[in-house]
Amino acid sequence: MVALGQILFRFRNGLFPLVLLVAILGGTPRFLMGDPGWDSFMDALGVLVAALGLGVRGFTIGFEYVVRGGRNHQVYADRLVTGGVYAHTRNPMYIGNGLIVLGISLILNAPIFYAVCLPLLILAYGSIIAAEEHYLRQKFGVEFDEYCRQVPRLVPRLAGLRRSLEGIPFNWRRLIVKEYGTIFSTVLTVFLATLWDDYRILGPAALPSSQAMILFLAPLAIFYILAWVLKKMRILSADGRDPLPAREDRTT
């Protein structure tokens, strides 16, 4: 799995969009158990689960940040992060990603997503985690082994979470700078998945008016553009101080 994870790591940002495209083109949304009454429930549940996934990612980044961008398309870490949420699960960001994927799958409720797409994503992310842990074990050795013994790989240990976060200020600047793209793409995907689900099952009459869609999408677009401009103009930086020089090699 390590070798597969090292390959997939290079393309990890495109994994979910690709799988989602396959699900949309090849899958047919349907009512749960053939009952139309379940459709609104599944949509609401999917939105809540996806929002929880975004919340997990935001909560993690706000209190502690791990370099996730790699270097030269390879797994990379400048330090072993064990504080904040990482004191309770070694992969909180992947938990957040998984919840987002699950939320969208509940909205679509297409058999191909459950039977093919979700297992493929689980295999892909499992392989990437294996590759990352292989790298961390080689670089940090006994320190990483001890961390693994104390902290579960995925299922978080919630006991003592408040104590772990005491004294760590929540960095909202870092949250915006690092997550504005993910927030934008996730909210947009959830919105489009809901529209696609309603359209495929109920037809064009189920779609909201163009005015309603604009009222929803306009604030989302403004948020993305504003965050992007503030970041590029260096008005907003991840650490709240002057950002690093433009030519310095950084990962995100």
What's the pLDDT at 240? 53
238 in a structural domain: no
Is the distance from CB of 227 to CB of 176 less than 8 angstroms?
yes
pLDDT value of position 70: 66
* Of residues 173, 176, 191, 233, the one with CA closest to residue 46: 191
Asked if residue 48 belongs to a domain, the reply is yes
First CA to last CA distance, the chain: 24
Quote the pLDDT of residue 128.
92
Residue 91 is assigned to a structural domain of this protein = yes
Q: In a structure prediction context, what are the per-residue pLDDT tens digits for the chain, which is 252 residues long? A: 888 888 888 887 777 777 777 766 766 777 777 777 788 888 899 999 999 999 999 999 999 877 655 677 788 888 898 988 999 999 999 999 889 988 988 888 887 777 877 888 889 989 999 999 999 999 999 999 999 999 999 999 989 998 988 888 899 999 999 999 999 999 999 999 889 888 888 888 888 999 999 999 999 999 999 999 999 988 887 765 434 333 333 333
- Burial of 30-47, coded b for 16+ CB within 10 Å and e otherwise, reads beeeeeeeebeebbeebb
Q: Which two tokens stand for residue 68?
A: 């996730």
- How far apart CA 94 and CA 10 sit, in angstroms, is 16
Number of domains in the chain: 1
Distance (Å, whole) CA 110 – CA 107 = 9
Query: Does any domain span residue 27?
Result: yes
**59 lies in some domain:** yes
Q: Is residue 244 part of a domain?
A: no
What's the whole-model pTM score? 0.86
For residue 62, tell me if it sits in a domain. yes
Residue 96 lies in a domain: yes
Q: Is 3 exposed, middle or buried (0-12, 13-18, 19+ CB in 10 A)?
A: exposed
Gap between the Cα atoms of 102 and 106, Å rounded: 6
pLDDT the model gives residue 186:
93
CATH number, domain of 40, equals 1.20.120
* pLDDT of amino acid 245: 39
Range of the domain at 71: 2-170
